[in-house]
Amino acid sequence: MKRESKIIQMRAYRITESRGRKYSNWIVLEDVERKVFMVSSSYGSSSGVPRHDPSDTRDALIALREEWRRNFSPVPIDTLLPLEPANSIDRAIVQAEIRITKLWELARKLKTGRSVPEDIRKASHPSDPPIIVTHSEPRSDQELERKLQRFEKVLTDYQGGKQLRWKSKGRTPAGRTRAVLTLDGSEEMLVGEKSVELPSK
């Protein structure tokens, strides 16, 4: 579906799933207009007690910004296995788990020198210019720190002083714990190139 404006109305969720002593946290985006869901990131532990990382809010904000770029940026965001939208949060997580398994399989094949599966090979672009690998000196700690500071400023400007807080939304049909990220209290937000904004009332 072609979008009439370069704004996406979205929600961001934090989904927690417990399996015995293991738990997983997922950041899931919902495209409100298209009614589809996509996993943007995940992490887990076997500590037995589900914990939410303070970086969850930051990761969700990065994911929203990247989703805008994926839809509208003139520079394509290419991946070995493109993310497929799903019609529910639970289905999006299932698809993400399958994708992660395939990526691990790919890593093992590349490590052992075995051939790459056809469904992964077709995602590459033979017409792209070749990548030339050259030796370079490692970046200094100061340079990396300056780069991180610049990126944090980009995220701060993108948020625009608005409050981002997680709000409990019960459970998904599959029993996963669900929370939605609110922007100044709104569960929906308008995602643009330079900022996230509140929907018009």
Taking the C-alpha atoms of residue 97 and residue 39, their distance in angstroms, rounded to an integer, is 10
Cβ–Cβ < 8 Å for 38, 83: yes
Backbone angles phi, psi at 69, to 5 degrees: -60, -40
* Residues 1-54: tens digit of each pLDDT: 455 578 999 999 999 988 877 888 999 999 999 999 999 888 877 776 666 777
Cα atoms in the Cβ-side hemisphere of radius 13 Å centred on 160: 13
- Please state the separation of Cα 115 from the chain's center in Å: 29
Res 90 pLDDT > 70:
yes
Hey, what amino acid is at 81? L
Mean pLDDT value across the chain = 81
pTM of the model: 0.76
* Residues 149-185: tens digit of each pLDDT: 888 898 889 999 999 999 999 999 999 999 999 999 9
Where do the structural domains in the chain lie, given as residue ranges?
A: 8-93+162-197
